[in-house]
Structure 1
Amino acid sequence: MENNLSDKQIAMLKEYFDTFKDSNSGNITLESLLTIMTCMVPMITEGAVVKLFTNFDYDRKGTLNFNELIECMKQILSQADPIEDFSREFKKFDKNKNGFITTPDLRRVIINLGLAFIDDDIECMIAEAEAEAEAKDGRL
């Protein structure tokens, strides 16, 4: 496929893959792909994910290996407008409509996505983001 993923995107996919892979098969299931897609492409529909899963489950075992996941993501990310998607999703979490997401907002998003982070992980993400942000008050 023509569209290549950046090293950062591949590393992120590898982290998601390792987090969500099935301990028996070493691959990810449709349910896991839905979670990954929700994180990376928030505007994607469940139907679109099911179709992608079916298209890239080459061996028809009901799972995707890492290479199949990469090919799947190449296709979907080549069709996405990440800036538009990010802006739209950001507005959903910007409860005060002031251009910032607070630490509690980020914590709620992470919990709603079903991601297993401890509070220290969330605080670390906030601290990293704040290092590059204009505000230094717990808002992103």
Structure 2
Amino acid sequence: MENTSMLREWFERVDSEKTGNITAIQLKSALAVGNLEFPLSVVQQMIRMYDFDRNGTMSFDEFVGLNKFLLKVQQAFSDLERGLGYLVPDDVYKGLVKIGFSLDSPSFYTVCEESF
């Protein structure tokens, strides 16, 4: 979702207490509305990454920042997937580098080998 007014509506829908901030559980619900399913532990990590005021929740502006990042990730991997429905480790590595991660190539491939 790129449109700010749509994001605001999306955010306000899950900010049930109208505090201007959402919890990890509320963020998980908001992401699910956009067909983005993540384990709660991953959503909690997203909040830690984008919780710039360090209050343990996510404000609308922080939510917008997270949304921009998720769109960037989605686009990077969509460009690499080539209609196959999956990514090989080389594609994952390229995608992560494309969105700005600095990775040690041998370590990355070691983790991939151990995971599969």
Q: Please, what TM-score do these two structures have when normalized by structure 1?
A: 0.47
Q: Which residue of the partner structure matches residue 54 of structure 1?
A: 48
Q: Which residue of the partner structure matches residue 25 of structure 1?
A: 19
State the secondary structure of the residue aligned to 1:49: helix
Q: CA deviation at 1:59?
A: 1.4
Identity %: 25
For structure 2, the residue ranges without an aligned partner over 5 or more in a row are: 86-116
Question: Contact 2:2–2:68 at 8 Å: present in 1 too?
Answer: no
Question: Contact 1:56–1:72 at 8 Å: present in 2 too?
Answer: yes
Deviating above 4 A after TM superposition, structure 1's stretches of 4 or more consecutive aligned residues are 81-84
Q: Which residue of the partner structure matches residue 67 of structure 2?
A: 73
Quickly say closer, same or farther: Cα 1:41–1:80, change in 2 above 3 A.
farther
Q: Which residue of the partner structure matches residue 6 of structure 1?
A: 2
Two-structure CA RMSD over aligned residues (Å): 2.6
Q: CA deviation at 1:50?
A: 1.8
Give, in whole Å, the separation in 1 of the partners of 2:28 and 2:37: 12
Q: Please, what TM-score do these two structures have when normalized by structure 2?
A: 0.55
> What is the aligned length?
79
**What is the correspondence of 1:1-140 to structure 2 with a 5 Å cutoff?**
6-7=2-3, 10-23=4-17, 25-81=19-75
Q: Amino acid of the residue matched to residue 12 of structure 1?
A: M
For structure 1, the residue ranges without an aligned partner over 5 or more in a row are: 89-140
Quickly say closer, same or farther: Cα 1:42–1:30, change in 2 above 3 A.
same
Output one character per residue of 1:63-105: Cα deviation in whole Å (capped at 9) or x when no partner. Answer: 1111100001111121115978xxx8xxxxxxxxxxxxxxxxx
Q: CA deviation at 1:22?
A: 5.0
Q: Amino acid of the residue matched to residue 6 of structure 1?
A: E
Give, in whole Å, the separation in 1 of the partners of 2:44 and 2:29: 12
State the secondary structure of the residue aligned to 1:58: coil
Give, in whole Å, the separation in 1 of the partners of 2:18 and 2:33: 24
Q: Which residue of the partner structure matches residue 114 of structure 1?
A: none
Q: Amino acid of the residue matched to residue 25 of structure 2?
A: E
Question: Contact 1:22–1:29 at 8 Å: present in 2 too?
Answer: no
Quickly say closer, same or farther: Cα 1:60–1:79, change in 2 above 3 A.
same
